[in-house]
Amino acid sequence: MKTTVVDLSADNFNSEVEAFLTRLLASDLVGSLLVPKRTTGGDNYVHALIKNPALLADTDIGAPVMPVQAARIISNLTFRDPGEKIGVVVRPCEARALVELAKFKQITRESLVIIAVDCLGTYEPKVFSGLVKAGRNPALDLRKQAQAGACRADAEASFRAACEICEYPALDTSVVDIVVGIWGVDTEKQLYIEASDVMAEALSSRSVLTFNEQKNPRRQELVATIKGERIKARDQVLGDFRSRVNSIKGIQELLSTCLRCHNCMINCPICYCRECVFRSPTFEHTPDQYLGWAKDKGAIRMPANTVMFHLTRLNHMVISCIGCGMCDTACPSDIPVMSLFRTVGDKAQKMMAYEPGRSYDEPAPATTFRDSELVTEAGMSGH
Amino acid sequence: MSDSKFEPRIVGFLCHWCTYTGADLAGTTRQQYPAGIRIIHLMCSGAIDVVYVLKSLLDGADGVLIGGCHPGDCHYQTGNLKARRRIALLRSVMETLGLDQERVWLRWISASEGRLFAQTVREYDGALQSRGQNPLADEWDL
């Protein structure tokens, strides 16, 4: 890994980043860039796929809002070789989702230059929009705080629940090519960048960026502290959830207001199937089947299979759940889907000794096995 | 109903090459086992998707028995070991949410083990007798 501290020559942090991205786009390292850009409406940031460097204006790599999980977009762009390299600016949960999608062959890692930006927390899009309309600059407010320590949400808002318990406020260059550090950095004066050795060499040889090997000692320390606090918060949330949802009654209460819109599945970066079994002919039942089930039980909830939908989704992807909380954002009924997945995932991931998003080299647990394992967990000990 | 003895309903997902053939052998050699098991024939225990196990349980089956080849004997090399991962995961999900994981059993039974098949079904039937009816059988709101 190589590092560099750039003293801002431009007016501000965003302009310096824009200048860096402009040089990157002009180089042969990428043919396009995917960067969060202010919408025409002005109250939101969405990922824009940018070819023309002039349109890098109004981008903000740290806008604290995530209307879509970028890994989903990147899967659309690279599930087949796109024919050129795409530089993608993502937050840690999006980068970790990319690692999982690479294992499922839903992205082409070789087509990507992944730029991970330290994440200071995100607001729900409607909350973010409200703050902007009230005259705030949420990205700038958080960046100023991040120099000194943990970021607090605006007094009139709160971060997304997933962000409050996220143990990955920052990444290193093990699964991404470039890291833009914000924690502990005086972003009024400096831009801090880390890059893998290969990427650093590529960037320097093309004069995109010079690596002066200056480090930011505050960042590492601060990230470790924040991580510790988040783990404590996470264990609290998971513990509360466990004591609330620990029976079929708890599950029924949790899912009482589920609309069966499938939004949690549609917005989940890990739920990658082009055709979900719940939207396939397997679940296109005939009238007499419904009537038969209703006769057996006396009544059935309609539409049918609500609990089964969520239990099946848990089984299919909880091992790879990176906890981005897009399911929470997407749920029109405010069901704490993220807490459900994080709680179930905590136990399941430990059982498989698997940490989603950690490494491209660890196979997805469902695709592999060891000869002697999980005998007790599968309920087979003594047999 | 209250007078008659509780007879657990078991859904058996059995692999073609080992356990299903073992069940066949149990029949042809006149082994006795409870009639409450309904057998579904799969080509491999590794072909099971948990959606079908969950469907059985949520619809009120008292137990689900998945039968595969002993490790090393899988006709498709390692399907059974992948099934073991999937079932371990399913039971982990069930445990976290307070669902009775003993309503899912995975067992290795070979084509020559007709006696073991009959014995396993008797054993599971007994275990389910003592656990009682699957409480989900009476739940409409699922």
**B81, part of any domain:** yes
* Closest B-chain CA to A277: B51
CA-wise closest residue to A93 among A118, A123, A125 = A118
What pLDDT, on a 0 to 100 scale, did the predictor assign at position A312? 97
Task: Answer yes or no: do A153 and A9 share one domain.
Answer: yes
The C-alpha atoms of residue A234 and residue A70 are separated, in whole angstroms, by 24
The radius of gyration computed from the CA coordinates of chain B, to the nearest angstrom, equals 15
Q: Is B93's Cβ below 8 Å from some Cβ in A?
A: yes
**B2, part of any domain:** no
Residue-range definition of the domain harbouring residue B104: 11-131
What pLDDT, on a 0 to 100 scale, did the predictor assign at position A88? 98
Reduced to 3 states (helix: H, G, I; strand: E, B; else coil), residue A157 is coil
Region A270-278: mean pLDDT is: 93
Residue in B84, B95, B139 nearest the CB of A248: B139
Q: Is B127's Cβ below 8 Å from some Cβ in A?
A: no
C-alpha distance from B27 to closest chain A C-alpha (Å): 22
| pLDDT range class, residue A380, cuts 50, 70, 90 | confident
Q: How far is CA A371 from the centre of its chain?
A: 33
CATH number for position B71: 3.40.50
pLDDT > 70: what percent of chain B?
A: 98
DSSP chain B: --SSPP---EEEEEETTTHHHHHHHHHHTT----TTEEEEEES-GGG--HHHHHHHHHTT-SEEEEEEPPTT--TTSSHHHHHHHHHHHHHHHHHHTT--GGGEEEEE--TT-HHHHHHHHHHHHHHHHHH-S-GGGG----
Q: How many structural domains does chain A have? A: 2
**B4, part of any domain:** no
**Quick one: residue B30, left, alpha or beta (phi over 0 = left, psi -120 to 50 = alpha)?**
left
Largest CA distance in chain B: 48
What pLDDT, on a 0 to 100 scale, did the predictor assign at position B5? 83
Task: Answer yes or no: do A117 and A28 share one domain.
Answer: yes
pLDDT > 70: what percent of chain A?
A: 99
Q: Tell which of A168, A199, A232 closes a domain.
A: A232
Q: Which of A242, A247, A248, A300 to mutate: most B Cβ within 10 Å?
A: A248
For chain B, how far is it from start to end, CA to CA, in angstroms? 24
CA-wise closest residue to B18 among B36, B58, B45 = B45
Task: Answer yes or no: do A293 and A352 share one domain.
Answer: yes
CB-CB contact of B28 with B75 (8 Å): no
Task: Answer yes or no: do A188 and A319 share one domain.
Answer: no
Q: Per mean pLDDT, which range of A140-149, A344-353, B56-65 is the poorest? A: A140-149
pLDDT of B1 strictly over 60: no
C-alpha distance from A92 to closest chain B C-alpha (Å): 26
Nearest 10 degrees: CA dihedral of A21, A25, A26, A27? 100
C-alpha distance from A308 to closest chain B C-alpha (Å): 7
What pLDDT, on a 0 to 100 scale, did the predictor assign at position A245? 97
B90: chain A residues, CB-CB within 8 Å: 315
Task: Answer yes or no: do A212 and A260 share one domain.
Answer: no
Q: Which of B58, B96, B105, B106 to mutate: most A Cβ within 10 Å?
A: B96
Residue in A299, A367, A371 nearest the CB of B140: A299
Region A49-56: mean pLDDT is: 97
A253: chain B residues, CB-CB within 8 Å: none
What pLDDT, on a 0 to 100 scale, did the predictor assign at position A270? 97
pLDDT of A219 strictly over 90: yes
What pLDDT, on a 0 to 100 scale, did the predictor assign at position A376? 87
Reduced to 3 states (helix: H, G, I; strand: E, B; else coil), residue A351 is helix
| pLDDT range class, residue B3, cuts 50, 70, 90 | low
Reduced to 3 states (helix: H, G, I; strand: E, B; else coil), residue A127 is helix
Strand ordering across the sheet containing A112-117:
A2-7, A190-195, A178-181, A112-117, A86-90, A32-38, A45-50
| pLDDT range class, residue A320, cuts 50, 70, 90 | very high
**B3, part of any domain:** no
Q: Tell which of A198, A232, A266 closes a domain.
A: A232
Q: How many structural domains does chain B have? A: 1
What is the average pLDDT value for chain B, to the nearest integer? 95
The verdict on a CB contact (< 8 Å) between B93 and A245 is no
**B141, part of any domain:** no
- Could you identify the residue written with the tokens 């995109």? A208
Task: Answer yes or no: do A209 and A277 share one domain.
Answer: no
B54: chain A residues, CB-CB within 8 Å: 308, 311-312, 315
Residue-range definition of the domain harbouring residue A169: 2-216+226-232
The verdict on a CB contact (< 8 Å) between B50 and A312 is yes
B97: chain A residues, CB-CB within 8 Å: 245-247, 250-251, 311, 344
The C-alpha atoms of residue A176 and residue B62 are separated, in whole angstroms, by 48
C-alpha distance from A40 to closest chain B C-alpha (Å): 44
Task: Answer yes or no: do A77 and A168 share one domain.
Answer: yes
Token pair for residue B112? Answer: 């020559």
**A239, part of any domain:** no
**A383, part of any domain:** no
Query: What CA–CA distances, in Å, run from A382 to A33, B11, B72, B78?
Result: 57, 22, 19, 22
Task: Answer yes or no: do A312 and A185 share one domain.
Answer: no
Residue with the bigger pLDDT between A380 and B114: it is: B114
Task: Answer yes or no: do A159 and A39 share one domain.
Answer: yes
The verdict on a CB contact (< 8 Å) between B106 and A380 is yes
Token pair for residue A145? Answer: 């705080």
CA-wise closest residue to A254 among A311, A322, A321 = A311
Residue in A314, A366, A368 nearest the CB of B93: A314
Q: Which of B45, B84, B107, B128 to mutate: most A Cβ within 10 Å?
A: B84
* Closest A-chain CA to B57: A308
pLDDT tens, residue by residue, A11-30: 799 999 999 999 999 999 99
Task: Answer yes or no: do A175 and A49 share one domain.
Answer: yes
Task: Answer yes or no: do A164 and A69 share one domain.
Answer: yes
pLDDT tens, residue by residue, B12-26: 999 999 999 999 999
Compute the C-alpha angle A98/A100/A102, nearest 5°: 70
In DSSP terms, A37 is beta-bridged to A46, A59
* Closest B-chain CA to A313: B51
pLDDT tens, residue by residue, A73-104: 999 999 999 999 999 999 999 999 999 999 99
A371: chain B residues, CB-CB within 8 Å: 71, 81
The verdict on a CB contact (< 8 Å) between B89 and A380 is no
What pLDDT, on a 0 to 100 scale, did the predictor assign at position B2? 53
The C-alpha atoms of residue A166 and residue A162 are separated, in whole angstroms, by 6
**B30, part of any domain:** yes
Non-local CB neighbours of B126 within 8 Å, separated by 6+ positions: none
For chain A, how far is it from start to end, CA to CA, in angstroms? 50
Chains A–B, number of C-beta pairs less than 8 Å apart: 128
Q: How many residues make up chain A in this entry?
A: 383
**B68, part of any domain:** yes
C-alpha distance from A289 to closest chain B C-alpha (Å): 12
Q: Is B59's Cβ below 8 Å from some Cβ in A?
A: yes
CB-CB contact of A172 with A107 (8 Å): no
**B139, part of any domain:** no
User: Which alpha helices (DSSP H) does chain A contain, by range?
Assistant: 13-26, 70-78, 92-103, 125-133, 138-146, 161-164, 197-205, 217-244, 248-254, 263-267, 287-297, 306-317, 326-330, 337-351
For residue B132, give the amino acid letter.
G
* DSSP 8-state code for residue A366: G
| pLDDT range class, residue B48, cuts 50, 70, 90 | very high
For residue A184, give the amino acid letter.
G
The radius of gyration computed from the CA coordinates of chain A, to the nearest angstrom, equals 22
Task: Answer yes or no: do A187 and A303 share one domain.
Answer: no
Burial call A269-278: b when 16+ CB within 10 Å, e when fewer: bbbbeeebeb
Q: Per mean pLDDT, which range of A4-13, A304-313, B28-37 is the poorest? A: A4-13
The C-alpha atoms of residue A19 and residue A31 are separated, in whole angstroms, by 16
The verdict on a CB contact (< 8 Å) between B97 and A344 is yes
The verdict on a CB contact (< 8 Å) between A379 and B59 is no
Token pair for residue B103? Answer: 């309503």
pLDDT tens, residue by residue, B59-97: 999 999 999 999 999 999 999 999 999 999 999 999 999
